[in-house]
Amino acid sequence: MIEIIPAIDIIDGKCVRLTQGDYDTKKVYNEDPVEVAKMFEGAGVRRLHTVDLDGAKSQHVINYKTIEKIAEHTSLVIDFGGGIKSDEDIDIAFASGASLVTVGSIAVKNPELFGTWLDRYGADKMILGADVKNGLISINGWKEEGDNKLMPFLQGYTAKGITNVLCTDISKDGMLQGPAIDLYKQIMAEFPDMHLIASGGVSCIEDIEALDKAGIPAVVFGKAIYEGKIKMEELAKFM
Nearest to 218, CA basis, from 167, 177, 175:
167
As a whole number, the mean pLDDT across the chain is 94
3-state secondary structure the chain: CCEEEEEEEEECCEEEEEECCEEEEEEEEECCHHHHHHHHHHCCCCEEEEEEHHHHHHCCCCCHHHHHHHHHHCCCEEEEECCCCCHHHHHHHHHCCCCEEEECHHHHHCHHHHHHHHHHHCHHHEEEEEEEECCEEEECCCCEEEEEEHHHHHHHHHCCCCCEEEEEECCCCCCCCCCCHHHHHHHHHHCCCCEEEEECCCCCHHHHHHHHHCCCCEEEECHHHHCCCCCHHHHHHHC
Q: What is the pTM of this model?
A: 0.94
Whether 212 is catalytic = no
pLDDT digits (tens, 9 = 90+) for 15-49: 999 887 889 999 999 999 999 999 999 999 999 99
What is the CATH classification number for the domain harbouring 229?
Answer: 3.20.20.70
The pLDDT score that the predictor gives to residue 138 is 83
Bridge partners, 233 (sequence order):
none
pLDDT digits (tens, 9 = 90+) for 174-209: 667 899 999 999 999 999 999 999 999 999 999 999
Output the CA–CA distances (angstroms, integers) from residue 145 to 2, 11, 130, 138, 150, in the order listed: 30, 23, 12, 4, 12
Of 9, 79, 89, 169, which residue is the catalytic one? 9
pLDDT above 70: residue 141: no
Of 52, 54, 79, 131, which residue is the catalytic one? 131
Whether 124 is catalytic = no
The pLDDT score that the predictor gives to residue 145 is 66
Boundaries of domain holding 220: 3-238
pLDDT digits (tens, 9 = 90+) for 69-119: 999 999 999 999 999 999 999 999 999 999 999 999 899 999 999 999 999
Split into its structural domains, the chain has a count of 1
Question: How buried is residue 195: exposed, middle or buried, by Cβ count under 10 Å (0-12/13-18/19+)?
Answer: middle
Produce one character per residue of 18-50: b if its CB has 16 or more CB atoms within 10 Å, e if not: beebebeeeeebeeebbebbeebbebebebbbb
The pLDDT score that the predictor gives to residue 136 is 87
Nearest to 143, CA basis, from 50, 18, 27:
18
